Chain A
Amino acid sequence: MITLEKRPEPSRFWSWATPVLAVLLTMVAGGAMFAALGKDPVEAIRTIFWDPLFGEFAFYYRGQLLVKAGPLILIAIGLSMGFRAGIWNIGAEGQYIIGAICGAALGLAFYPFDSFIVFPLMVLAGALGGFLWAMIPGILRVKFNTNEILVSLLLVYVAEFILASMALGALKNPDGAGFPGSRNFRSYPSGFNEEIIAGTGLHWGVVAAFIAVIFAYVLFARHQMGFQIKLAGQAPRAARFGGVNPSRLILFCLGMSGALAGLAGLFEVSGPAGQVSIDFNVGYGFTAIIVAFLGRLHPVGILLAGLLLALTYIGGEAAQSSLGLPAAAIQAFQGMLLFFLLAVDVLTNFRFRFGKREVV
């Protein structure tokens, strides 16, 4: 007889060991799936997890890993602040889009003016755009007690329509022969988010992500606001008696996550994506929710989780083209990873007991 027993408090060991266990279980189950598809499971797993880091073309993939992980980490750090306090911003994708539009619009308004000041101004505009878009659910929540989950999520669709309208109208490239999409920032060096060290993938967005990790770490470990966030999440009543102003906390958390998502959008649109196009957003805002939880809402955890998820994307793509694995199998593989993460999470809060239940 095996029973589950709730631990008196979450196990510190298992809260760090479960992600590793989940990755191992995913390799086993995913390997079985690849074998069932007639591919060599060891080679498939190696292509996904090993080759991008240490394989023949690692010089290219390592950089791409940063390009892919950068926005995920930046957004997830912002989200983790709210999630810790029980404030659920689900609409980071929308804030990402609006940040990209605001920053790009400012940059394109300066075209072809050549100055080092253009890019920093774009960065500010991007952060401000995301911040303001997140303030909509924030203020509605504070003033009218609306549900920020619904409001922020639905604003994603509004943002997507604004994006389409911008790509087809106001921001359309005047030299683009009528095709939708803005001017490409590659052709405008003052506004281009160039790699800081060529060939490394290290652009300003990646730097911003690292800074955000450190900032969040200090905030949670040392700062009064970090303490208030944790308190509000774990003991809302105690927080209220302890003098935490809930409205201020809500606006801080939503505004912060919005600004970071907006930054991520700006760095993406001015760098890897290069232009405002109708389908510019590819779901980073939603994937970042997974990254935040995968990283246990801890800044260092999020850093690692972002890199891990980026690895499965990049390795997954490589496996598609080099091994002929179907795209659906890669998605199933990524799904398995999340499934096992949630499944083994039970070990953090519960322990197995073998034998008969003790009678008290």
Chain B
Amino acid sequence: MKRRTILAAGVAALALATGGAFADGHAKTKVGFIYVGPIGDGGWTYEHDKGRLAVEAEFGDKVETVYQENVPEGADAERAITQMALQGADIIFTTSFGYMDPTNAVAAKFPDVKFEHATGYKRETPNVSTYSARFYEGRAIQGHIAGKMTKTNKIGYIASFPIPEVIRGINSAYIHAKKVNPDVEFNIIWAYTWFDPAKEADAATALIEQGADVILQHTDSTAPQAAAQKAEGVITFGQASDMGEYAPLPRVSSIIDDWAPYYIARVGAVMDGTWESTDTWDGIGPGMVAIGEISDAVPADVKAEALAMKDALADGSYHAFTGPLNKQDGTPWLAEGETASDGDLAGMSFYVEGLTAEIPN
């Protein structure tokens, strides 16, 4: 409490000293980004940075963007975010789940700065928004292709942290793989990192050695793609970004996060003063999730089915979690034809029936 007042007093003094229109007197809108990995990761952070560049392209000299890479999730994040707010950012996008508490803590000290936290659920003050994409819709398509393409019936999954977002992805991919291939098995490795190319490559190699011929990843680097490329007959999917340099094999398709329209809209809202705290969760329909080119390595009929599913997900005629579905322990979850509520999905902490692994705890 006390620290808050002192910091706020300092900021207020600063605002007084410089005086002026934008609360602290600058003409350009300053937009900050906090990244969990390097912008060259080729995946998650790379796509967020593409969003940043799109903001620059859209608004030209009216904006100034700043970013910081490789910010650890924890005490250091709070400093990095505070630093940006002090340097006069008007809106700050914090692009990893682990920035949730730090983002809210800093937001409480800077009521005039807008904060946008990706993939979290806490909005403790009116200057915090959250946003995320329905990646699980892409996972459904991935699962379908994977189930059709696997010859060993073993699918390897490199997971990051056991949070609902990741568990949702595993469930969605499994449900749709199982639907087209009842013999399919998922082998899941938890890497406990978002970005660590060496660990991710090790995980991919281990899964391949255990017989997996499809590798799905929920980590940010292209290392699993490179590891799969070395093995014979293994397919992968680009994660977060297209990872098109690994097409047509091993990468047969991808889930692409397209943050640019959202970032442009939010920065625009700050500029014209219409920004409000919101909770956005968009999927394939609004274009926040895109499916990368399905390569020729996928048979034409499978590709057609995958594209049909994509259209159905986009127009809302199909939901990736449609009953009948049971939880892993056999208790019923969704009845025939019932679809999962957003609340259920947001806090998902269980596997669906058929997955043999356990969620680490």
Given contacts A279-B98, A326-B39, A327-B69, 13 further A-B contacts (CB under 8 A): A59-B10, A60-B86, A165-B361, A177-B164, A184-B101, A186-B105, A195-B2, A268-B75, A320-B67, A321-B67, A322-B66, A326-B69, A327-B38
Task: Tell me whether B361 and A169 are in contact (CB under 8 A).
Answer: yes
Q: Which residues of A contact B360 (CB under 8 A)?
A: 164-165, 168
Task: Tell me whether A177 and B121 are in contact (CB under 8 A).
Answer: yes
Task: Tell me whether B32 and A273 are in contact (CB under 8 A).
Answer: no
Q: Which residues of B contact A60 (CB under 8 A)?
A: 7, 10, 82-83, 86
Q: How far does the Cβ of B26 sit from chain A's closest Cβ, in whole Å?
A: 14
Task: Tell me whether A317 and B80 are in contact (CB under 8 A).
Answer: yes
Closest-by-CB residue of B relative to A186 is B105
Residues of A within 8 A of B (CB): 56-57, 59-60, 64, 67, 164-165, 168-169, 172, 177-180, 184, 186, 195, 198-199, 268, 272-275, 277-280, 282, 314, 317-318, 320-322, 324, 326-328
Chain B window 31-64, contacts with chain A (Cβ cutoff 8 Å), 1 for yes, 0 for no = 0100000110000000000000000000000000
Contacts A180-B162, A277-B73; A328 near B38 (Cβ below 8 A): yes
Measured in the bound complex, the distance between the Cα atoms of B98 and A32 in whole Å is 36
Q: Which residues of A contact B75 (CB under 8 A)?
A: 67, 268, 272-274, 282
Q: Which residues of A contact B14 (CB under 8 A)?
A: 56
Q: How far does the Cβ of B119 sit from chain A's closest Cβ, in whole Å?
A: 11
Q: Which residues of A contact B82 (CB under 8 A)?
A: 60
Q: Which residues of B contact A321 (CB under 8 A)?
A: 32, 66-68, 80, 83-84, 87
Task: Tell me whether A199 and B192 are in contact (CB under 8 A).
Answer: no
Contacts A282-B72, A317-B83; A168 near B361 (Cβ below 8 A): yes
Task: Tell me whether B79 and A317 are in contact (CB under 8 A).
Answer: yes
Measured in the bound complex, the distance between the Cα atoms of B78 and A184 in whole Å is 14
A-B contact pairs, 11 of them (CB 8 A): A165-B361, A168-B361, A180-B161, A186-B105, A198-B2, A199-B2, A199-B3, A272-B78, A278-B192, A317-B68, A326-B39
Task: Tell me whether B78 and A199 are in contact (CB under 8 A).
Answer: no
Measured in the bound complex, the distance between the Cα atoms of B161 and A68 in whole Å is 26
Task: Tell me whether B98 and A198 are in contact (CB under 8 A).
Answer: no
Closest-by-CB residue of A relative to B4 is A198
Closest-by-CB residue of B relative to A324 is B66
Task: Tell me whether A314 and B79 are in contact (CB under 8 A).
Answer: yes
Chain B contacts with A in 142-185, Cβ cutoff 8 A: 161-164
Q: Which residues of B contact A172 (CB under 8 A)?
A: 361
Q: How far does the Cβ of B343 sit from chain A's closest Cβ, in whole Å?
A: 10
Task: Tell me whether B38 and A279 are in contact (CB under 8 A).
Answer: no
Question: B74 on the interface (CB 8 Å rule)?
Answer: yes
Contact of A274 among B2, B84, B101, B193 (CB under 8 A): B101
